[in-house]
Amino acid sequence: MKKYALVLAAGKGTRMRTEMPKCAFPILKKPMISYIVENIEKSSIDEICVIVGHKKDVIEEILGDRVTYAIQSQQLGTGHAVLSAAPQLADKEGVTFILPGDMPLMEYPLMDKLMRSHEEMGNDLTVVTMSMDYPKGYGRIVRNEYGIVTGIVEENDCNEAQKLIKEVNSSVYIVNNKLLFEYVKKIQKNDRKGEYYLTDIVNLMHQEHKVNTFMVRNPMVTMGINDLFGISVAEKYLRESINKGHMLSGVSIVNPETVTIGHNVIIEEAVWIYPNTTIMGNSVIKKGAIIGPNTEIVDSVIHEKAEIRHSIVLDSIVHENTTVGPFAHLRNHAEIGKNNRIGNFVEVKKSTTGEGTKAAHLIYLGDATIGKNVNFGCGSVTVNYDGVKKHQTVIGDDVFVGCNVNLVAPVTVGDRVFIAAGSTVTQDIPKGAMAIARNRQINKEDYAKHFIKPKEDK
């Protein structure tokens, strides 16, 4: 049987107080709808249709061609949203999994478990529910004297007895696809809000079809996010869940409540992560690496036994046994070779270094290809920008670059070159040469008195 997912992502999310569509709002620096689609892709579901409306181009840019789209031009409720997908799904046989686009914490194992339960119980409609001690704001699950689900009543429409019901609607449904579009057309507009509630499908279907529920044990996984406080709650839950998974897999995290690791990050065993560290994007941290404290890594690969402390690494690669920091900045596809030392206040941008190279402090390396066993003295700079274009610096192996050297690109430095401190290099340096590019020092005897007045005796 074919399985479909229908993600409702057309709403404005006015309570978020932002121009961004709610489903595009980031959680741990990733749009919440991306969590949903990634988990659906890992599940047994075959096709994904996302219903878009408000600022649909933002959602479409995030998801691209991974899904198909249905457009809800007017936001007239969840029932109307589902009906918008009729051109894509109404004629198809199978089962449809419906969930809101603001529910990023439900993972694919639970999705598959819900689908299996729906099939094994022979349900035509399964309503995913949860038990809440304080159910204010949620639609209540109403049952008859035999325990059969007969409807869902929204908070504002509940009588006093119904308000005491603790089983509430999660807004997740699994339904026979043909029946879904047959019955969603029968939903009447709610007089109070002027919208079509998808919840009304329960009352319409239970008389002729098997309607049942599945209660999730942890209400957090079906939490919908409606405001910025909800974002913080979801981030806290995700952070704790992700960190726990890594620690159980052999990663040592010191003060995990201060460490944030993204959903797609891969960390191998025997890694140490110290406080106030953030690792995001598609980063990979390999065995034995030491990360932090006070470090940010995004979309980067850190190889075995490398150490990154008090530093920022963006879109870059750090190879084995290399130390970075404190207060270093690697960005724009920097690739640091094995056994390197990238030290205090060093920035490396769009450059590569060979094995054994050292840039210990106060250095900028931009748009450079650097060989092995190169030593940069304090204050060295590859001057890569002429005000219009960026230019390349190429440095061979076994080169010594003295303190406060400016390498004005484009320039090539051969192997085994020695560059004297304070030089501004504007021409290529051949292999084995020593380069001195500075004015000769002149000492004028007894001349400082013109600039420095002697202190008066007291």
Give the integer Cα–Cα distance in Å for 211 and 200.
Answer: 12
Structure tokens at 13: 């999310």
33 token code pair: 């709808």
> Exposed/middle/buried for 102, CB within 10 Å: 0-12, 13-18, 19+?
buried
- For 385, how many CA atoms within 13 A lie in the half-sphere containing its CB? 7
Beta carbons within 8 Å of 291's beta carbon, 6+ residues apart: 271, 272, 273, 274, 277, 279, 285, 297, 302, 307, 308
Q: Which of 80, 361, 391, 450 is catalytic?
A: 361
Strand partners, 204: none
Strands 252-253 and 211-215, bridge-based pairing: unpaired
C-alpha 141 chain-centroid distance: 35
Q: How many other CB atoms sit within 10 Å of the CB of residue 207?
A: 8
Alpha-carbon distance of 335 to 321, in angstroms, equals 14
The two structure tokens encoding residue 199: 């919840």
What are the CA-CA distances from residue 174 to residues 95, 98, 147, 211 (Å)?
7, 6, 20, 10
**Distance in angstroms (rounded) separating the CA atoms of residues 232 and 36:** 18
CB neighbour burial string for 226-256, b if at least 16 within 10 angstroms, e if fewer: beeebbeebbebbbeebbeebeeeebebeeb
CA 18 to chain centre: 19
Cβ count near 374 (within 10 Å): 27
Tell me if residue 263 is catalytic: no
CA atoms within 13 A on the CB side of 90: 12
Which residue, 17, 66, 71, is CA-closest to 37?
Answer: 66
* Separation of alpha carbons 322 and 251, rounded Å: 20
Kindly calculate the radius of gyration of the chain based on its CA atoms and give it in whole angstroms.
31
Q: Which residues are catalytic?
A: 361
